[in-house]
Structure 1
Amino acid sequence: MEQRPVPGRTGGAPPRSAPEEPPADVRRRIPRTDALLRDPRLAAAVDRLGAHRVKAAVRQAQERARAGAIPPEQVPQTALDLLPGTASGLRPVINATGVLLHTNLGRAALSAAARQAVREAAGPTDVELDLTTGVRARRGRSALAALHARMPAARAAHVVNNGAAALVLAATALAAGKEIVVSRGEMVEIGDGFRLPDLLVSTGARLREVGTTNRTTPADYAAVTGPDTGFVLKVHPSNFRITGFTRSAEVAELTGLGVPVVVDIGSGLLAPHPALPEEPDADTQLRAGAALVTASGDKLLGGPQCGLLLGRADLVRALARHPLARALRVDKLTLAALEATLTGPPTPTALALTAGPDALRARAERLAAALAADGIDVRAAGSAATVGGGGAPGVTLPSAALSLPEPYAAALRTGPVPVVGRLEAGRCLLDLRAVPPEDDDRLAEAVRSARATAEGRA
């Protein structure tokens, strides 16, 4: 059957493609905001993140479609991709720095028990109510009972919002208008420019410095202690070490001066630890005669940020009833996390501190082999981890790491799952001591995701 040519078309020539759709037609295909918000995925995001943030992401996605950067059909997914995982600006990271208590990363990671306790305490709780009698009860009584159970040498305990606050409360309640006797070798800077002398003077106390930078004897304290002395202060110089011709007075040598001896151990170690033989602990200091010990809860204790005050019942009672205590008190979430830390299973900090070098090396070799099979330039390497957070200065912990080309450091920090490592000898090291074994697969996937970006920067 003979085919007739189509008018306007030369014989046998292929048909011309349809003209491109005018931009106005493309804009008409962009989904409306109300329609997008009915998308089940975006509706769920509204419940999780709030309508304002979701609408802002929708508008950004629509603007990209109007500019021709994406087709209209991609607007819903683009809006979802623009949304953060949580309503907070804080992003969870994997700490592969080799610093167990990294201040810039929030120090101690809470245990699963503590995280669960925080979730359960997020709603109404009996934080100050006796459910049996229906009357007001002591705030945080179960957390304080747990702290006393772990620290029987302390006759009483009180909790404030951080370690520095614990020392400020002690100085305000016990030494305002009086002298605090302290060794010159213990006048430390605690980080970010905050200096202990400035902190103590702000409370209205006067500092009476004794001894020298490297040597202070019990006689130096005795020579100046008198009616104007609020207390003698011993501070653990937790972020530096002085070696050589040194002398410092022990707590037991100062208990006969007739004034309280307050010891700031800083790092939050409650009892001696075999891996940290030179790190002071609260139990030892109290048994040596300290009237009061102050410490941080988010360091070696492995709990939430808080300050611990442990010691004589009369002193702790005076601190707890001081007007400043109200301004420094902790919320129900901190109390819940602290109690679960004290009564629950070993914390991530405790597990990282006691991780065996052989197990760490085996993990590094397994991960390196899996990543190398994907063509990534990686190898297992020995490493040296530290405690950090102002604890155990000079102490290194044998560890193992993944060694990658240097460009991986920035690529991993900015990836979908941020990983923070460290640079050493021109390589990016991902130290595994502070990385829980259950995060190994996430770490490997983060390395794979960072590969293209890292190789592009090489």
Structure 2
Amino acid sequence: MSVDPRPHTTTPPDTPADTPSDTPSDGPRAATATTGDPRRAVPRTDAVLADPALRDARERLGRRLVKTAVTDAQQRVRDGELAANDLVTAVLAALPEHATTLRPVLNATGVLLHTNLGRAPLSDAARDALTAAAGCADVEYDLATGRRGPRGTGALTALRDACPPGTDVQIVNNNAAALTLAATALAQGREIIVSRGELVEIGDGFRLPDLLTATGARIREVGTTNRTTTADYADALGPDTGFVLKVHPSNFRIEGFTYAPPVNELAALGVPLIVDIGSGLLAPHPALPGEPDARTVLRGGAHLVTASADKLLGGPQAGLLLGDPGLLARLRRHPLYRALRVDKLTLAALEATLRGPLPPVRALLDADPRDLRRRAETLAAALATALPDVRVTATTAVVGGGGAPGVRLPSHAVSLPAATEPALRAARVIGRLDHDRLLLDLRSLHPSDDEELHTTVLTTLTPTAAEEN
């Protein structure tokens, strides 16, 4: 008797003959209805990545980021949460708009310079400058001679032109870096004389005394919390004095029985006077009568002024050093300067901010309350057909970013129920809660943002109505 050498298999009568095997499918849209195990239907990673629908995403975001979204979606298929046919759609929905975790938001908080939201929004001119400098640029190259040239000439010249004649300038990472460089170069192992009322703490527990002592300098406190006189500074002068430091307490106010000497008196003490004005206001502004500005302080005799560039100046994050050419030459020669200098993108954006049209922060600061009311009424009327509980509310905005404490700017807001806040925040509309209402304050939004605000609120809170519109 002969025996058939082929293995004998039996197919149960209720099992289709074309049941899929464990071999991965050849495409991202393989059918899953014929198997009870969703893992059998998971498409291969390379097959999904090759899908034409993902081509633009690969080019825009890079293969690695897209692959991460693919593997996440594949796991959802394995877990039975997602059908294999919907995998590519799910990947596209999960991918970000840009290859960064930073996402643009609409700042409707009424805080013009919101530190958590990146402080000053850049002007269109500054954004264009970032694009121009993003590739290779002549940041330290002289196109005329073909040799190495000075770094950041354009930005430094623009900043120098905004200061009184005879002022030299330098740019570092931020205002804290400016103070660090000055303290290290001019007072390491020596004393910095500063009023007790100006030893400030700013956001996230950052304290000025800690910064100064970390440079190797010693702090000599003078005066009291509420009153410090010129004589207090003069009595503290000695052979170990590095400089006198005057700090604008930009995030709080002391009122009542107070006194602080003017800049011209401190400048006459015979030692360098450094004034930290904080918010980067280069010239006086009528809406901010109590805010120190670089032009006035320098004309008052300050030897160095330090400030931030991403606040009232309206530029990118940077620290400004303005003042005596001899002192700034000492700072430039210090080894620490190399570690604190800014990159080409900051130089480009800062130059465009100084040379170009007024930055957005100035438009926000100068906004007419009557225009803000009209904008709020127009927006509320456009939303009222779909959202009946919409109101226009008179409110007050603030400068923020540690600038102009106590200054209240009249404004108007669109008011919605507080329960809408989580959904709008997820849609990147950031307002502020006031009791049982969410206020979308238009003082911190440029008029060009109104259309996007309207569309986002409508699509987020009333998707059906938005589709009809």
Same fold by TM-score, threshold 0.5 exceeded?
yes
Instruction: Classify 1:375/1:390 alpha carbon distance in 2 versus 1 (closer, same or farther; 3 Å).
Output: closer
Cα RMSD (Å): 1.7
Which stretch shows the higher mean deviation, 288-297 or 83-92? Answer: 83-92
Whether the 8 Å contact between 1:422 and 1:428 is mirrored in structure 2 is yes
Residues 1:69 and 2:81 aligned together: yes
Specify the alignment match of 2:167 in structure 1. Answer: 155
Instruction: Classify 1:192/1:120 alpha carbon distance in 2 versus 1 (closer, same or farther; 3 Å).
Output: same
Residues 1:396 and 2:408 aligned together: yes
1:59 Cα deviation (Å)?
2.6
Q: Secondary structure at the match of 2:443?
A: coil
1:27 Cα deviation (Å)?
6.8
Instruction: Classify 1:26/1:389 alpha carbon distance in 2 versus 1 (closer, same or farther; 3 Å).
Output: closer
Which stretch shows the higher mean deviation, 203-212 or 285-294? Answer: 203-212
Residues 1:268 and 2:288 aligned together: no
2:445 aligns with one of 413, 435, 451: 435
Whether the 8 Å contact between 2:380 and 2:390 is mirrored in structure 1 is yes
Specify the alignment match of 1:3 in structure 2. Answer: none
Question: Which of structure 1's runs of 4+ aligned residues deviate more than 6 A?
Answer: 25-29
Residues 1:343 and 2:337 aligned together: no
| Equivalent pairs, count | 432
2:337 aligns with one of 313, 321, 325: 325
Whether the 8 Å contact between 1:172 and 1:203 is mirrored in structure 2 is yes
Cα deviation digits, residues 289-338 of structure 1 (max 9, x gap): 00000000001000000000000100011111110101111011100010
Whether the 8 Å contact between 2:353 and 2:359 is mirrored in structure 1 is yes
Give the partner amino acid of 1:279: E
Instruction: Classify 1:25/1:240 alpha carbon distance in 2 versus 1 (closer, same or farther; 3 Å).
Output: closer
> Could you state the TM-score of these two structures normalised by the residue count of structure 1?
0.91
Whether the 8 Å contact between 2:386 and 2:462 is mirrored in structure 1 is no
Whether the 8 Å contact between 1:178 and 1:205 is mirrored in structure 2 is yes
Specify the alignment match of 1:17 in structure 2. Answer: none
Cα deviation digits, residues 390-441 of structure 1 (max 9, x gap): 00000010011110111111111112xx011111121111111111111112
Specify the alignment match of 2:151 in structure 1. Answer: 139
Give the partner amino acid of 1:92: P
Q: Give runs of aligned pairs for residues 133-282 of structure 1, distance below 5 A.
A: 133-153=145-165, 155-282=167-294
Q: Secondary structure at the match of 1:285?
A: helix
2:132 aligns with one of 111, 120, 142: 120
Residues 1:298 and 2:310 aligned together: yes
Specify the alignment match of 1:56 in structure 2. Answer: 68
Give the partner amino acid of 1:163: N
Q: Percent identity?
A: 63
Q: Secondary structure at the match of 2:337?
A: helix
1:82 Cα deviation (Å)?
0.8
Whether the 8 Å contact between 1:30 and 1:73 is mirrored in structure 2 is no
1:452 Cα deviation (Å)?
6.0
Instruction: Classify 1:407/1:154 alpha carbon distance in 2 versus 1 (closer, same or farther; 3 Å).
Output: farther
Give the partner amino acid of 1:275: A
Cα deviation digits, residues 163-201 of structure 1 (max 9, x gap): 011011111111111111111111111221111111111
1:161 Cα deviation (Å)?
0.1
Specify the alignment match of 2:321 in structure 1. Answer: 309
Q: Secondary structure at the match of 2:182?
A: helix
Give the partner amino acid of 2:170: H
1:70 Cα deviation (Å)?
3.7
- Mind listing any 5+ residue stretches in structure 2 that lack a counterpart? 1-31, 464-469
Q: Secondary structure at the match of 2:336?
A: helix
Q: Give runs of aligned pairs for residues 36-51 of structure 1, distance below 5 A.
A: 36-51=48-63
1:421 aligns with one of 431, 434, 449: 431
Whether the 8 Å contact between 2:42 and 2:74 is mirrored in structure 1 is yes
Whether the 8 Å contact between 2:276 and 2:306 is mirrored in structure 1 is yes
- Mind listing any 5+ residue stretches in structure 1 that lack a counterpart? 1-19, 454-458
Whether the 8 Å contact between 1:232 and 1:259 is mirrored in structure 2 is yes
Give the partner amino acid of 1:354: D
Whether the 8 Å contact between 2:229 and 2:259 is mirrored in structure 1 is yes
